[in-house]
A and B are shown apart, each in its own frame.
Chain A
Amino acid sequence: EVQLVESGGGLVQPGGSLRLSCAASGFTFTSYAMSWVRQAPGKGLEWVSSITGRGASTYYADSVKGRFTISRDNSKNTLYLQMNSLRAEDMAVYYCAKADSSAVTATLGYWGQGTLVTVSS
């Protein structure tokens, strides 16, 4: 059974940093691209970033480019999102999602339960 468990969310001041983690199990982690998608309170879904299976290629939404870094540790079956220079508009539930293949363009077939990031002074 595929399981994705996010952690690392919390309260951070504007301008601060946070690192999210997503522990994956139930599938061969290195064979699948992974993504982060966020949802601001009461709003819709917004893609944030994606990474290929071996981590060679990464992609970012314009809204986070230069501030967020996606990475993965395939030896630990864990996906990360390093978030720097956080802004009020970054406040959201952050979901990690598994692509249905090694291609970053594949459908997001499984999602974790999300972790809440609150940006406030």
Chain B
Amino acid sequence: EIVLTQSPATLSLSPGERATLSCRASQSVSSYVAWYQQKLGQAPRLLIYDASNRATGIPARFSGSGSGTDFTLTISSLEPEDFAVYYCQQRSNWPPITFGQGTRLEIK
């Protein structure tokens, strides 16, 4: 089973700042990584698929990069609504689908 490790666990930033979230896989997952945003009490929402493709309706300030074992989600300029928990997920070595433990993005 592929283990995804996200860092940092918590990221404290202010609106307007740039956020960089990391996800590292225990073995290569090619580009089969997705990123999800989850707000309190809500379902996860797909942001990025296949490492760098924005899902429908996702603002351009969200971008993804990486391949192999190291992946990054970048939010170029934080909006108030971006403060949430973010999960990475791999679908390369399947089953099982695995998720990272999440990064909490909080307002500083």
Indicate whether B83 reaches chain A with its CB closer than 8 angstroms: no
Give chain B interface residues in 57-108, CB to chain A under 8 Å.
87, 89, 91, 94-102
Residue of A nearest to B44 (CB): A111
Which chain B residues in 2-60 approach chain A with CB under 8 Å? 34, 36, 42-46, 49-50, 55
Main secondary structure of the interface of B (DSSP, over half): loop
A61 to B44, CA, bound (A): 20
The stretch among A24-32, A66-74, A102-110 that forms the contact with chain B is A102-110
Contact of A107 among B91, B96, B98, B100 (CB under 8 A): B91
Number of interface residues of A (CB under 8 A): 24
Residue with the greatest number of chain A CB neighbours at <10 A, chosen from B49, B91, B100: B91
Q: Is the interface of A mostly helix, strand, loop or mixed?
A: strand
Name the distance in Å between A63's Cβ and chain B's nearest Cβ.
9
Judging by beta carbons under 8 Å apart, are A45 and B87 in contact? yes
> Contacts A107-B46, A111-B44: A44 and B100 contacting too (C-beta < 8 A)?
yes
Asked if B49 and A47 sit within 8 Å, CB to CB, the answer is no
Query: B100 — nearest CB in chain A belongs to which residue?
Result: A44
Selected from A35, A45, A104, A106, the residue in CB contact (under 8 A) with B99 is A45
| CB–CB A50/B95 < 8 A | yes
Q: Do A59 and B95 touch (CB < 8 A)?
A: yes
Q: Does A53 contact B (CB under 8 A)?
A: no
Separation of A95 and B46 alpha carbons in the complex (Å): 14
Beta-carbon contact of A47 and B34 below 8 Å: no
Minimum CB–CB distance from B21 to chain A (whole Å) comes to: 14
Knowing A109-B46, A111-B43, A113-B43, say if A44 contacts B102 (CB, 8 Å).
Answer: yes
Of all A-B residue pairs in the complex, the 10 with the closest CB atoms, nearest first, are A47-B97, A111-B43, A107-B49, A45-B99, A59-B95, A105-B94, A44-B102, A107-B34, A44-B101, A105-B91
12 contacts between A and B (CB under 8 A): A37-B97, A44-B101, A45-B36, A45-B89, A50-B95, A59-B95, A100-B49, A107-B34, A107-B46, A108-B46, A109-B55, A110-B46
